[in-house]
Amino acid sequence: MPPDAQPITRLLQQSRNGNQAAFDELIPIVYQQLHKLAARCFRSERPGHTLRTTALVHEAYLRLADADVAYNDRVHFYAVAARVMRRILVDHAKAQRREKRGGDVEKISLEQSADVGAQAPAQLLELDEVLERLAARDRRKSEIVELLFFGGLTYDEAAATLGISPATLHRELKMAKAWLYKELAQPPRPGDGT
């Protein structure tokens, strides 16, 4: 267990028990890791992106503070933070798309989509739509992809978060990747905003 895991877990437990001051005390401890998660989200973004890493961290903090989530431990906290950041980026991309009133949606490969920044709002939205379809078919496979690619968790951390073995995670990830490859290779569906 990393040295920061025990104080983080203790503060999360105190926060879960209604101690808001514990959550406020937690943020300086996890800020650096949240910033790393946000930077990971932006590593493939186009230059001049209108949302910045620090802004993403601060928006995520506000949403995490308002969330009614009983965090089990630090891994669960970071997994939820990764999901929150993904939602912020998707919401930002949707807002940009609305401002531009559509445009051509470019098809991307799974490798390109794994770089969470997804270089253009349309690509991020396409990835989000495909992950939503995967979640409708198999929630756990979608969560595995989200935790590994968006959250930056290790196989062991993602498996622990989901309560499955690393071998099961690996097997389901292979199936999820195959399904995503197939979906990303298909032409856009009618009504997908294209």
What tokens does 89 get?
């980026």
Report the pLDDT value the prediction gives residue 102, as an integer from 0 to 100: 47
For all residues of the chain together, what is the average pLDDT? 77
Band the pLDDT of 5: cuts 50, 70, 90. Answer: low
Phi, psi (degrees; rounded to nearest 5) at 46: -70, 150
DSSP 101: T
Alpha carbon distance 15, 10 (integer Å): 9
Task: Give CA torsion, residues 101, 105, 81, 83, to 10 deg.
Answer: 110
- Give the Cα separation of 49 and 184 in Å (integer): 24
Who has greater pLDDT, 16 or 178?
178
In whole angstroms, how far apart are CA 58 and each of 35, 51, 64? 9, 11, 10
Q: What percent of the chain has pLDDT over 70?
A: 75
The helix-helix angle for 121-137 and 166-185 (nearest 10°) equals 120
Q: Check whether 141 has a pLDDT greater than 80.
A: yes
